[in-house]
């Protein structure tokens, strides 16, 4: 069953066609990865999906409703959460207060914040200053803030960037635990993570959708091999 459907999304910056007529369908309860060479348009596309950037053309439907004109904060209330490529926490506040800000509409922060922290293993860091956490724990805190919103769709923009190998295994286990209650759209440069986690993969190249399929189908696609997998690209 479809959760989100985007048709003909376009966004140009001057003469650069960052997103050029992209279609994307996300199914309920799947982990869907978005990959492609640097500059392929991945972050621009998810910024459009989350409402941070408006498309110049195209339509986005979420649970059957047209949300194309909704701003980001209204999409959050509909169930769309987006964690950023660069960690976006409140570094001077405590871990508890960071999550409390994400849960500001909660009627019981004393209950809901510890529950959210426990989900990502940060319950022992509630009183720590967020900016003093290790980089890996800061990324987990950002993920906790997104999950605290109980999103129907969680967009993760390069979540393993900067993580140590031992942290990546824990991240993969956490993402798997989110489905089927949450659909995950994952932008990720680590192809091992992508192939291990994703149910389906969409490949972008020069702002256009090159292919969508299972990991096996994407590996076997000659166009994808020529444009991305077969080259020396280190990042998605």
CATH of the domain at 7: 3.40.50.300
Give the three-state DSSP class for 128: coil
Position with higher pLDDT, 136 vs 220: 220
Mean pLDDT score, 75-98: 85
Q: How many CB atoms lie within 10 A of CB 155?
A: 25
Q: Left (φ > 0), alpha (ψ -120 to 50) or beta: where does 158 sit?
A: left
Residue range 5-37, pLDDT digits in tens: 999 999 999 888 999 999 999 999 999 999 988
Give the three-state DSSP class for 118: helix
Residue range 44-60, pLDDT digits in tens: 999 999 999 999 999 99
> What is the rounded CA–CA span in Å between residue 177 and residue 179?
6
> What is the rounded CA–CA span in Å between residue 90 and residue 88?
7
Report pTM: 0.88
Residues 120 and 224 in one domain: no
Angle between helices 109-119 and 95-102 (to 10 degrees): 110
Answer whether residue 190 is part of any domain: yes
Residues 156 and 224 in one domain: yes
Residues 158 and 224 in one domain: yes
Answer whether residue 236 is part of any domain: no
Count of structural domains, the chain:
2
Position with higher pLDDT, 10 vs 232: 10
Split at pLDDT 50, 70, 90, the class of 84 is low
Domain that holds residue 53: 2-79+151-229
Residue range 133-161, pLDDT digits in tens: 988 888 889 889 988 888 999 999 888 88
């Amino acid at each position: 069953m479809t959760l989100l459907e985007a048709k003909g999304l376009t966004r140009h910056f001057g003469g650069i066609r960052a997103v050029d007529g992209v279609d994307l369908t996300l199914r309920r309860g799947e982990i869907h990865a978005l990959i492609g060479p640097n500059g392929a348009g991945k972050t621009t596309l998810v910024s459009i999906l989350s409402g941070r950037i408006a498309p110049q053309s195209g339509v986005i439907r979420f649970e059957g409703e047209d949300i194309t004109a909704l701003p980001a904060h209204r999409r959050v209330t509909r169930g769309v959460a987006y964690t950023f490529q660069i960690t976006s926490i409140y570094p001077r506040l405590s871990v508890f207060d960071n999550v409390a800000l994400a849960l500001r509409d909660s009627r019981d922060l004393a209950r809901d914040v510890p529950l959210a922290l426990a989900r990502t293993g940060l319950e022992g860091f509630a009183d720590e200053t967020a900016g003093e956490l290790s980089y890996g724990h800061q990324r987990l805190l950002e993920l906790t803030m997104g999950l605290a919103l109980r999103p129907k769709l969680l967009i993760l923009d390069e979540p393993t960037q900067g993580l140590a190998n031992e942290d990546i295994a824990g991240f993969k286990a956490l993402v798997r635990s989110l489905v089927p209650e949450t659909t995950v759209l994952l932008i990720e440069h680590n192809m091992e993570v992508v192939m291990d986690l994703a149910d389906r993969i969409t490949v972008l190249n020069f702002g256009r959708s090159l292919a969508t399929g299972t990991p096996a189908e994407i590996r076997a696609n000659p166009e994808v091999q020529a444009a991305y997998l077969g080259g020396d690209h280190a990042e998605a």
